Amino acid sequence: MRPSNIFLATLIFLATHGLSSVSAQDRISFWTTEVEKDRLEIQGGIARAFTEKSRIEIRVIPIQENLLAERVTAAYAAKSLPDVLFLPLDFTAGWADAGILDVPSATAAVNHLGKETFAQGPLNLVRVAGGYAAVPTDGWGQLLLYRKDLFHQKALPIPDRWDRILEAAKALHNPPLIWGFEPPTDPGQVYTQQVFEHLALSNGVKLTGPSGGVSLNTPEMFTVIDFYKQLNDFAPPGNRHWLHTRMDYLSGRAAMMIWSPFILDELSGLREDQPVLPDMTKGEQGYLAKNTGFVSILKGPNGAAQYGQINCLGITQDANKAAAVKWVEFLLTEGYLKWLGMAAEGKLPLHKGTQHEPELYIKGWMGLEFGTTRSKISEFYGTDVVDVLMSGLDGFDRWGFSEGKGELILKIYGTKIIPEILKRFLDGELSEKQAARLMDERVKALEE
């Protein structure tokens, strides 16, 4: 749900402390999709600190996020992969299976840092045969945002269950002044897949069944699809994508929506380029933020879940593996809080602490600043919100990854077949059973 930042960068940040004294085998490259100028400067600083400590030179090379797969594929064919990659979960299992990522090296880093020091949900999502495809680094869990002030006026319970969500949507729906709930419906948006998948997981719908095969044509899925339609009845018409839902909530025209914690920045009113509309501030800075509640784990009739998006550090097969492991471990320890501080609202610490201080990095993250005018998350939103953000870390879930279906998930997200079929259902072309059957058939066809 976070829009991609496209930044044409050719700068390479070099940690060049004593180049003449560093041998060729102690020079490694790091590809990063954090390509904004200020983030590159931070990464360059971390690299210089690492070089000073280890005498290993680091080249920090920016790669546009939307070009990562293409560049990695070409580098793999040319046997010129970087030593370490910053990559989303989506690529981990497939690239490990293809021989791009080195499982023993990532596993060694995880074991040395301590498996118990990581959030267990994300760690399970990168698990493959023989260990771990990559090392979980940072991520975010999807949240349901709701207007606490409006809920209080109507004496409504926290919308953490499906029945409570529908109850509140009905009670607060007053179009065109305010819409009860805004789910995305744009079939061309990954955001639509993310929200739908969150709701499916919350009703116990996994990508695969007990046999290990794709299993989406189930009664539980029928219920999810019907629930999505009920939510859509309390939303404005049209194809809604991430910008529509965000702007409606920020302007006070939506009582509830599902979004990533990247909205904490905009919601605070501290961003000079994204102000909350004056009619919602009531003369008080941060009024909307202080009157927004957050739910991390949603409970459906047959389950409970939080959708999690995680980023990882992968060590490649072409790497100087000993040096690469040291760099990964440095990033997740001495350089970690600087790394998370690049976008603290959307970079939750998946490495929670050390064996001696289990919450070291969680506590450190709470003191990080966000927004263009800089404010600490824990001070602006309070410890209750921080607790909500952190509560789901160990339970982050996704379709397919823990079942070894990472490559299939890539195809599902790439083709956007789930949002496409969902939109046809919402437009009345399909029944919920027809939609579930078609989802099942189309996903199975992607495996052939």
pLDDT in the model for residue 379: 75
Nearest Cα neighbor of 380 from 295, 287, 296 is 287
Same domain as 334, residue 372: yes
Residue 386 lies in a domain: no
Residue 129 lies in a domain: yes
Residue 390 lies in a domain: no
Burial of residue 333 (CB within 10 Å: 0-12, 13-18, 19+) is middle
pLDDT in the model for residue 262: 86
| DSSP character string of 45-100 | HHHHHHHHHH--EEEEEE--GGGHHHHHHHHHHTT---SEEEEEGGGHHHHHHHTS
pLDDT in the model for residue 274: 55
Same domain as 68, residue 174: no
Structural domains counted in the chain: 2
Residue 6 lies in a domain: no
Q: How, if at all, do strands 292-295 and 298-300 pair?
A: unpaired
Phi/psi of residue 35, each to 5°?
Answer: -100, -5
CB 323 within 8 A of CB 23: no
**Considering 331, 349, 379, which residue would you say is the last residue of a domain?**
379
Nearest Cα neighbor of 314 from 46, 36, 51, 91 is 91
Same domain as 290, residue 167: yes
pLDDT in the model for residue 14: 39
Give the Å distances, CA to CA, from 104 to 118, 124, 138.
Answer: 18, 16, 21
Same domain as 274, residue 285: yes
Residue at 240: amino acid letter: R
Looking at the DSSP bridge assignments, the partners of residue 303 are: 300
Residue 78 lies in a domain: yes
Residue at 196: amino acid letter: F
Burial of residue 383 (CB within 10 Å: 0-12, 13-18, 19+) is exposed
410 C-beta neighbours (distance < 10 Å), count = 18
Residue 385 lies in a domain: no
Same domain as 218, residue 180: yes
pLDDT in the model for residue 374: 65
Q: Which domain holds residue 156?
A: 143-306+396-447
Residues 53, 61: Cα–Cα separation, whole Å: 21
Task: Report residue 354 as tokens.
Answer: 């050390």
For the chain, list residues with pLDDT below 70: 1-25, 270-285, 371-374
CATH number at residue 132: 3.40.190.10
Same domain as 47, residue 168: no
